[in-house]
Structure 1
Amino acid sequence: MTLKGWKLILNRVIFIPQRYVLGIMGLFALANSFTMRVCLSMTITQMVVHTESSQHIVGEICPDNNNATAAGSSNNSSVTFEDRDRYDWDETTQGLLLSAFYYGYVITHLPGGLLAEKFGGKWTIGLGLLCSSVATALTPWIVSLWGATGLFCIRVIEGFGEGPVTPAFVLLLARWIPPSERSRFGAMIFGGAQVGNIFALYISGLILADGGDWANVFYLFSVLGIIWFIFWVFLCYSTPNTHPFISDEERNYLNENVAASGLHKKLDPVPFKALIRSAPLWVLIMAAIGHNWGYLTMNTDLPKYFSDVLKFNIMETGLMSALPYIAMYICSFIFAAFCDLCIRKKWHSISTGRKIYTTIASSVPALFIILASYSGCNRVEAVSFFIVSMAFMGGFYSSVKINAMDIAPNYAGTCSAFVNGIAEISGIITPYLIDLLTPNQTVEQWQLAFWTVFVVLVGTNILYVIWGSGEQQWWDDVAKYGYPPGWKHGPFTYIHTAKKLVYPKHDHSPISDD
C-alpha cells in the first residue's frame, strides 16, 4: 500500500483531534521529565549516611516518632547498606547535588528555543528527553565509580537534555493551539509536571521502603522515558501542516485560528535588538523567577523537610510530598477552564487574566508557606498548609507559563527560553541557599528560609501586575505593526517581494511595496 493510502486509512481510523494527541503526549513528556528530575530529592535521603550530631543545637527539633536511626560513621566515606553504598555527604554537598541538574538545564534553554524554531519542536523535545532518560539509567553506575563528582556531572547532563523541553513546548502550543484554548492545553501539558512529581515521590517512597535499592528508582523512570520517546516519534509533529494524518477539517480550523505566522511562512531571524528591550518580556522573566523560587524550593527541598524536620519515614515522606502536587494538578485545570471561559466570554482581557492568575499562583501560596513554617512540629497542620499553598500555585499554568506565546506567538520558543532559562537559575540558588540557612534542620532555621521565599514571590508578583502584558508585541510581527515612534536601533527584519526587499517603516502603518 502507498503512503497516501496509509494516510487515508489513518484519517478515517484516528478520529481524535491531533492537537489533543499532542496535549496528551505532552502531558506524559513533562511527567517523565519531572520524574527523572525530582527522584533524586527522594533517593538522596537514602543515599547518604545519617549520623547523630553531638553538638548543642539552638532551636526546636521535632521528635523522631520512628525510633530508628540509620547506621553509619562520619569517619568513613561510605558504608554498605542493603547491597548498596551510602555516602557521607554533608548538607552543603547535598545542596550542590540537588542543584546540579539546573546548571545544565539553564544553559540549553536558549539554544533549545532557537533549535525548535529552526527545526521544529518534535525532535528538539524528543531527543532532549531521550538524552535525559539514558543519563538517568546510567546514574547508579556513575555514582558507584565517581561518587558525588560523578553524580553532579550526570545530573548536569540530564539538565542539558531537559532544558529545551519547555521553550519547545511553548512553541508547539503557539503553532497548534488557538488562543481561546491555550489555558486548558497549557494546564494539560505543563500540568504533567505535577503528575511527574506525584508519581516520582510516591513510587520512590514505595521502592525505597524497607531498605529498597535506590538504584531501582533511576532504572524505572529512565525506562518509562525511553518508552515515551518511541510513541512520540510516531504520533507527534511540529506543525499541523506537516502532520501526515491530521484531518482536513482540523488543519483548516487551526490555520484560520492560530496567529503564529511561522505556521504559514518561514520566519525572519529573531529580533534580539527589540526583544532584549521589551519591558513586558523582562517583567515576565521576573514573575517566572519569583514563581520558580517558591515552586523549586518545594520541588527540591520539601521531601527533606518532611524527612529531616517533621521526621516522616521514607514511605510517609513519599506520600506526604506527593499530596501537594495532587492538589496543584487538580486546581490547575479548574483555574485554566475558568480563565479560558472568561477570555472567551470577554469578561476580561488576556492581560487581566494573566495578572489575576499570576497573583493567585504567587502571593497566595507565599502566605500559606509561611503559615506552614509556623506550624512547628504539628504534622497535620504543616502538611495541610503546604497542600493549600501548592493548590493555588496551579494558577501558574494559566498565567506566567503561557504568557510568552501571548506576547510573541511567532518567537515563542526563544522568548520562553529567555523566561524559563533565566528563571531556572532559581533552581541553582535555592537548594544551596536552603542548605546554608538550615544546617541543623531546626524549625526556626526553616522559617527564615521560607520567609525568603515569601519576599521573592510577593515582590516579583507586584512587578508583573504593574507592567505585565498579554498582548502581541510589535517586534513579534513588524510586517503587521511596524516600528514604534522613536525606534533608533535600525531595521531587524525584511519582507521578500517578487521584485525587491522592502524594509518595514518606522511607524505603526502597514507595510507596503511602494
Structure 2
Amino acid sequence: MVLKGWRLILNRVIFIPQRYVLGIMGLFALANSFTMRVCLSMTITQMVLHSESSEHIVGETCPDPQYVGMMNNTIIESTTTSTLLERREKYDWNEATQGLLLSAFYYGYVLTHLPGGLLAEKFGGKWTLGIGLLSTSIATALTPLAVSLGGAVGLFIIRVIEGMGEGPVTPAFVLLLARWVPPSERSRFGAMIFGGAQIGNIFGPYLSGHLLANNGDWANVFYLFGGLGVIWFIFWVLLCYSTPNTHPFISEEEKLYLNNNIAASGLHKKLDPVPFKAILRSPQLWVLVLAAVGHDWGYFTMITDLPKYFSDVLKFNIQETGLMSALPYIAMYVFSFIFASLCDLCIKKKWHSITTGRKIYTTISSTLPAVFVILASYSGCNRVEAVALFIASMAFMAGFYSSVKINAMDIAPNYAGTCSAFVNGLAAISGIITPYLVGLLTPDQTISQWRIAFWTVFVVMVGTNLVYLIWGSGEQQWWDDVDKYGYPKGWKHGLLKKRRPDLEKKVVYPKHDHSPIAHD
C-alpha cells in the first residue's frame, strides 16, 4: 500500500523523461561502485608500515619535501602514531603482497560478469544490478572487521566478494541502455552513466585523503562508502525499472518514442536463448575484447596504482595524494561529455557511420593516453609536469565511453548484457594482472622501475588499438536477430533457435550484401 502511494506521488511530480532518471541514478551507481573499488588504493598506503629513510638516489628516487624538519617533530609524530596504533593495527606487507591485495577485487569481478549478464537478460537489469551493488556496499562496510580478523587473507577474501557484487554492473547497464536509449543518444548516455566512474574516482581519493589526514582511522573510509551504497540502493529500487514497458509512471509519449526507436527486440518479446555458438565465433566480438583489454590495462593501472606513484615516488603527503589522484578523473569526466556530444552529433548528422565513430574514439582513448603516460614517466621528480601529463592522459582516455564501452550494444542490442559481460569480464583480467605486475616491477619504488611498468601500458594499449582499427565494427550482427538477418552463407553449426515451422522463413542471399535477407 505504501509502495503504491509512493508511485502515485512520483507519477504526478516527476515530469522529466524516465530515461534521464535512469541515467542520473546510473551515474550515482557507477560513482558508488568506483569509490568502493578504488578506496583501498588510498587506504593501503596508511594500512602498511613504512620505514622512514632520508636516502635519496639522484635520478632514481625523489627527495621527500616533508623530511626537512622532521626531526624537530619527532616527539609529536611518535605520540600521534602511537595513539593510532592503539586504535588500528598496521601491517608489514611488501610491495608484491600489496599488489596482490589490490588485484583481489578483480578476481571476483571477472567471475560474475557473464553470470551477471545472463541474469540481467533473464530477470532484468534493475534487480541484477541493484542486488549486486548492495552486496558490495555491505562487504565494503565490513572490510575493517575482515582485516582485523584475518589480516591480509581476510582483506583478500572480502575484496573478492566486493568484486563479485560489482561484476554484473557493466553488463546490466549495457542491457538497460540497449532497452532504454535510442542509438542517436547512446554516446551521451554512455558518458553520463559510465562517466559516473570518474565521479567515484574523483571523490573516492579526495574524500579518502581528508579522512586519512592527520592519522585518521582508515576504517572510516570503508564505512562511508559502504553506507552511501546502501542509501543509493533504496532510491534505485523506487525509481528505476528494467524496460520502458514495465515502468509504472513513464509517460505514454516517451514510451511510444522509445518503442519506435529502439532496435532491441527484447523490448517487445521474450528473447531466444543466447546464441553462444555464434557469439564465440564472432570476430567482431573478439576484436572488441582485445580493445577492451588494452583500455583496461591502462585504466586499471591508473586507478589502482596512481595513488601509490604519487605517494611513494613523487612523495606527496596523503591529503595531497588524494587531491592529485582526483585531478586526472575530473579531466576525464569533462572530456567524456565533449567526446560523447561530438560522436552523437556526427552520427545523427550522418557525417560518419557508427563504426567509424567507434574507431575514432577508440584510437583517441588508447593511443594518446599511452603517449602521455610514457612522457610522465620521463618527467622524473618534476611533480607539476608529471601531474599535468597524467591529467592529459586521463582526459583523452574519456573517449572510451563513446567507443569500446558501448560497442556491445551496437553489435548486439538484443544480447547486449551477455556480450558486454563477455567483453568486460575478459578485459577485467587486466585488473588482476596489472596491480600484481606493477608490485613485482617496482619493489624499490624507483623511477626507472616505474618507467618499465608504464612502457608495458604503452605497448598493450597501442597494439590492441591497431587490431580494433582493422576489424572493429559498429553494425548489428546477424546472430543478434536471426529472424531479421537469417544465417550467413556457409554457416554449418546448426540452428541458433528451436525450429518452428509456422515461423520459418526462406533465406535469400543478395549479390552485393554479406547479410542474408529473410522473406516470408
The verdict on a shared fold, with TM-score over 0.5 as the criterion, is yes
Q: 2:429 aligns with which of 407, 414, 425?
A: 425
Q: Secondary structure at the match of 2:229?
A: helix
Q: Which residue of 1 aligns with 2:77?
A: none
Q: Secondary structure at the match of 1:81?
A: helix
Distance change >3 Å, CA 395–CA 82, structure 1 → 2? farther
Q: Which residue of 2 aligns with 1:27?
A: 27
User: Is residue 30–residue 193 contact of structure 2 (8 Å, CA) maintained in 1?
Assistant: yes
Distance change >3 Å, CA 5–CA 375, structure 1 → 2? closer
Number of aligned residues: 505
Distance in 1, Cα, partners of 2:214 & 2:366: 38
Q: 1:383 aligns with which of 365, 384, 387?
A: 387
| Letter paired with 1:43 | T
Q: Secondary structure at the match of 1:86?
A: coil
Match runs of 1:389-408 below 5 Å = 389-408=393-412
Q: Which residue of 1 aligns with 2:194?
A: 190
Deviations 1:154-174 (A, max 9, x none): 000000000000000000000
Moved more, 7-16 or 60-69: 7-16
User: Is residue 358–residue 400 contact of structure 1 (8 Å, CA) maintained in 2?
Assistant: yes
Distance in 1, Cα, partners of 2:494 & 2:262: 29
Match runs of 1:266-345 below 5 Å = 266-345=270-349
User: Is residue 479–residue 504 contact of structure 1 (8 Å, CA) maintained in 2?
Assistant: no
Match runs of 1:140-289 below 5 Å = 140-289=144-293
Distance in 2, Cα, partners of 1:335 & 1:27: 17
Distance in 1, Cα, partners of 2:32 & 2:52: 36
Q: 2:482 aligns with which of 478, 483, 496?
A: 478
Q: Which residue of 2 aligns with 1:467?
A: 471
TM-score (norm 2): 0.93
Using the TM superposition, give the Cα deviation of residue 83 of structure 1 relative to its aligned residue in structure 2, in angstroms: 1.4
Q: Which residue of 2 aligns with 1:75?
A: none
Distance in 2, Cα, partners of 1:235 & 1:327: 30
Match runs of 1:432-451 below 5 Å = 432-451=436-455
Q: Which residue of 1 aligns with 2:113?
A: 109
Distance in 1, Cα, partners of 2:298 & 2:14: 41
Q: 2:504 aligns with which of 495, 502, 513?
A: 502
Distance in 1, Cα, partners of 2:363 & 2:347: 17
User: Is residue 478–residue 504 contact of structure 1 (8 Å, CA) maintained in 2?
Assistant: no
Distance in 2, Cα, partners of 1:378 & 1:511: 63
Distance in 2, Cα, partners of 1:4 & 1:155: 38
Q: Which residue of 1 aligns with 2:512?
A: none
User: Is residue 113–residue 164 contact of structure 1 (8 Å, CA) maintained in 2?
Assistant: yes
Distance in 2, Cα, partners of 1:2 & 1:510: 51
Match runs of 1:81-92 below 5 Å = 81=85, 83-92=87-96
Distance in 1, Cα, partners of 2:367 & 2:86: 44
User: Is residue 289–residue 422 contact of structure 1 (8 Å, CA) maintained in 2?
Assistant: yes
| Letter paired with 1:31 | A
Distance change >3 Å, CA 140–CA 398, structure 1 → 2? same
Distance in 2, Cα, partners of 1:305 & 1:4: 52
Q: Secondary structure at the match of 1:401?
A: helix
TM-score (norm 1): 0.94
Distance in 1, Cα, partners of 2:378 & 2:7: 60
Deviations 1:177-218 (A, max 9, x none): 000000000000000000001010000000000000000000
Distance in 2, Cα, partners of 1:173 & 1:375: 41
Distance change >3 Å, CA 504–CA 203, structure 1 → 2? farther
Distance in 1, Cα, partners of 2:56 & 2:230: 49
User: Is residue 483–residue 504 contact of structure 1 (8 Å, CA) maintained in 2?
Assistant: no
User: Is residue 82–residue 211 contact of structure 1 (8 Å, CA) maintained in 2?
Assistant: no
Distance in 2, Cα, partners of 1:312 & 1:126: 37
Q: Secondary structure at the match of 1:307?
A: helix
Deviations 1:208-245 (A, max 9, x none): 00000000000000000000000000000000000000
Distance change >3 Å, CA 410–CA 297, structure 1 → 2? same
Q: 1:364 aligns with which of 364, 368, 381?
A: 368
Using the TM superposition, give the Cα deviation of residue 511 of structure 1 relative to its aligned residue in structure 2, in angstroms: 3.8
Distance in 2, Cα, partners of 1:56 & 1:340: 51
Distance in 1, Cα, partners of 2:382 & 2:341: 35
Q: Which residue of 1 aligns with 2:134?
A: 130
Distance in 1, Cα, partners of 2:92 & 2:54: 16
Distance in 2, Cα, partners of 1:275 & 1:10: 41
Distance in 2, Cα, partners of 1:61 & 1:3: 60
| Letter paired with 2:297 | W
Q: Which residue of 2 aligns with 1:17?
A: 17
Distance in 1, Cα, partners of 2:383 & 2:53: 23
| Letter paired with 2:46 | Q
Distance in 1, Cα, partners of 2:83 & 2:309: 24
| Letter paired with 1:179 | P
| Structure 1, unaligned runs of 5 or more | 72-77
Q: Secondary structure at the match of 1:364?
A: helix
Distance in 2, Cα, partners of 1:162 & 1:37: 9
User: Is residue 332–residue 397 contact of structure 2 (8 Å, CA) maintained in 1?
Assistant: yes
| Structure 2, unaligned runs of 5 or more | 75-81, 510-514
User: Is residue 484–residue 506 contact of structure 1 (8 Å, CA) maintained in 2?
Assistant: no
1:412 paired with 2:422, answer: no
Using the TM superposition, give the Cα deviation of residue 51 of structure 1 relative to its aligned residue in structure 2, in angstroms: 1.4
Distance in 2, Cα, partners of 1:293 & 1:79: 40
Distance change >3 Å, CA 3–CA 166, structure 1 → 2? closer
| Letter paired with 1:453 | V
Distance in 2, Cα, partners of 1:115 & 1:270: 12
Using the TM superposition, give the Cα deviation of residue 66 of structure 1 relative to its aligned residue in structure 2, in angstroms: 1.1
User: Is residue 84–residue 215 contact of structure 2 (8 Å, CA) maintained in 1?
Assistant: no
Q: Secondary structure at the match of 1:63?
A: coil
| Letter paired with 1:34 | F
Q: Which residue of 2 aligns with 1:38?
A: 38
Distance in 2, Cα, partners of 1:175 & 1:222: 29
Sequence identity percentage? 78
| Letter paired with 1:185 | F
